[in-house]
Structure 1
Amino acid sequence: MRLHIEHLTRYDYSAPVSLAHHLAHLQPLNDAHQQLLAFDLSVEPAPGALNVGTDAQGNAEHHFSLAQPHRSLSVRATSVVQVQPRFTALETAASPAWDTLAERLRYVARKAFEPAGEFALPSPYVPRLAPLKDYAAESFKPGRPLAEAAIELMQRVHADFEYRSRSTDIDTPLAAVWEQRRGVCQDFAHLMAGAMRMLGLPVRYVSGYLLTRAPDREPEGGRLMTGADASHAWVQVWCPGTPGVPTSGPGAGWLCLDPTNDLVPGSGHVRVAVGRDFGDVTPLRGVIRGGGRHTLTVGVNTRVLDEARSERGLLETS
């Protein structure tokens, strides 16, 4: 299945911006189940230079600067991605025991470094929060298979917390989300990451997109998805040795879970970037001089492409 994604971000300022430096994480990742066929990033006003790089996690980064005065900024990312079903052969009961894995990652002087271990540590948007440890412990009984327990935790987060658009913003502390029992997709991802990290387990935050209506196949089953038509967020839990979880490539050992929609992502999710939390993978951020007050408008459109469309027309806008 080919997906066409258009992501528009626009800032309007009450006063001119005289200088701006921006960083964008908007280009989807490549792996065995997700191939980026085309990508275009358009910025208005046009920057003096647009530099492309890769961060420590393999995410594509676009850096650009604007030295001319401007009262608005428009950034349009257009992608064509071919996706295939993932985790179709998942065997949760055959996953390693969670406490054995947590012990494997416990710090010991001069012990061999395990790269996944950094995602078991607190991060700026996911600090240590004591109540989350008890919350996670209800699912993570001693010796229980990790994937099985993680999926149950995902189901509980989905059931116990209300998804409410605009109920939080990115500066809302995780403790406030825990207390008010509502939030948006990034809050659900941060909650699940925080709960599992309190048990010493690695969890990555994933930014990306998903179809408004999922494909008519498992696990989504054609239903309307929560959090579509905007940037979406979910998590990856480190489950090495679990049947059905990739064993090679950039996603090796990582199982995707979407607590907002209570499912293991299939082919309706497109991954853009992975990190410790939202701060590592913010779609667009920057530093500006001037500007005064501003308004932000974001729109995302994700649709299935007609398979008959020629390669020449891949980046036609919808």
Structure 2
Amino acid sequence: MTETPVENPVETPAPLPPLAFSARTAASHTVTYRVTHTTTYTYDDSVSSSYGRCFLTPRDLPGQRVLEQQIMIDPEPTDRSEGTDAFGNLDTFFHVTTRHTQLTVNASSLVEVDPLDEEITGCPAALAPWEDARPLGQAGLGDEMACQYVLDLRPPEIGEAVRRYADEILTPGKPLVTAVEELTTAIYTDFAYRSGSTSVATRVADVMERREGVCQDFARVAIACLRSKGLAARYVSGYLATEPPPGQDRVIGAGATHAWAAVWMPGDLWLPFDPTNNKFVDERHVTVAWGRDYDDVAPLRGVIYTDSTSSTIDVSVDVAPLD
């Protein structure tokens, strides 16, 4: 019997059609979504014990309200608990002791999302020089929780290529909101979206060199650039509602998880932005969890005890607007 780690890989939605930087959509309004995220693991031999931890419950936030939520696990876990991690995310732990060759985790949520609050992009902190947004930049402006988002990762992600890229955009005295817009557009323009070109283990340095990747790569590049300047930036996981091409029906279950970034501002405000789609985060984005990097908020990971030598993972995500 062997102990095998399992993980729900990141599925990334194709980016929206090419667009200039957008602070909000053309017809912004509050939208209610039914979000369904189903992960099925299938093994070629029985699993005697399966431990799992998942971040699949959207957060209640200003501008986002969770109206319903449930996570169903089959086989039924022997032990299960819900809690809150150090970043305030809702997580679920489970232990399945029933022998099985297939494990299914289904998360369903009803979430109401508001458009981007223009007071965030137009507030004094956003319009002030970006240097003023350093959590440790000025006496009295420090924020202990924000400071952890300034620190580089281990192994380090802030290399020379990141520093040069950030230097070109975050020039002295530039308003923070302008710097974020320009960084978002630069990544959108300079990096090619190519599904399957990277994995969750790909380093930022590799993405900088290849100039290609998917949503989590672009979010991590933006975060590394901001941290290289002493700014606090966090990795955000969630979902993106996309519309089908004109004349085509929406394909149920064809969605995917998504990732973006957010930068801290004095007053404990966060400005979220999406480099994959060259825009600030708006009512198309459903926020699930945030942390320093992907490893803090993986949708689903765990350990199984089995003699199985192969397995398959099937992930289905659907973000259906109810309006």
Q: TM-score, normalised by structure 1?
A: 0.83
Task: Give the letter for the 1:240 counterpart.
Answer: P
- 1:84 aligns with 114
Count the aligned residue pairs. Answer: 281
Q: Percent identical across equivalent pairs?
A: 38
Pick closer, same or farther for the CA change 1:264–1:173 going to 2, 3 Å: same
Q: 2:317 maps to which residue?
A: 300
Q: Quote the RMSD (CA, aligned, Å).
A: 2.3
- 1:226-305 aligned within 5 A: 229-240=255-266, 252-290=268-306, 291-305=308-322
Question: In the TM superposition, what is the alpha-carbon distance from 1:187 to its structure 2 partner?
Answer: 0.5
8 Å CA contact retained: 2:136, 2:142: no
From 116, 123, 128, the equivalent of 1:96 is 128
CA spacing shift, 1:125–1:261, aligned 2, 3 Å: farther
Counterparts of 1:113 and 1:189, CA distance in 2: 23
**Structure 1 CA distance, aligned partners of 2:233 and 2:156?**
11
Tell me the CA shift for residue 100 of structure 1: 3.1
Q: Is the 8 A contact 2:161 2:205 kept in 1?
A: no
SS at match of 2:118: coil
Task: Find the residue that maps to 2:280 and give its secondary structure.
Answer: coil
Q: Which has the higher contact order (CA 8 A, sep 6+)?
A: 2
Give the AA of the match of 2:280. V
Matches within 5 A, 1:143-162: 143-162=173-192
Report the TM-score when normalising by structure 2. Answer: 0.82
| Aligned residue runs from structure 1 range 1-318, under 5 A | 1-89=31-119, 90-91=121-122, 95-102=127-134, 104-105=135-136, 114-124=144-154, 127-213=157-243, 229-240=255-266, 252-290=268-306, 291-306=308-323
Letter of the structure 1 residue corresponding to residue 180 of structure 2: A
Deviation track 1:65-102 (CA, whole Å, cap 9, x = no partner) reads: 01222211111100000111123342278522122333
- Distance in 1, matches of 2:156 and 2:53, equals 22
How far residue 40 of structure 1 moved from its aligned partner, in angstroms, is 1.1
Q: Which runs of at least 4 in structure 1 moved beyond 6 Å after TM superposition?
A: none
Deviation per CA, 1:116-156: give whole Å up to 9, x if none.
01101112486222210110111111111112101100110
Flag structure 1 segments of 5+ consecutive residues without an equivalent: 215-223, 242-251, 307-318
Query: C-alpha separation between the residues in 1 aligned to 2:281 and 2:258?
Result: 12
What's the CA shift for 1:239? 2.2
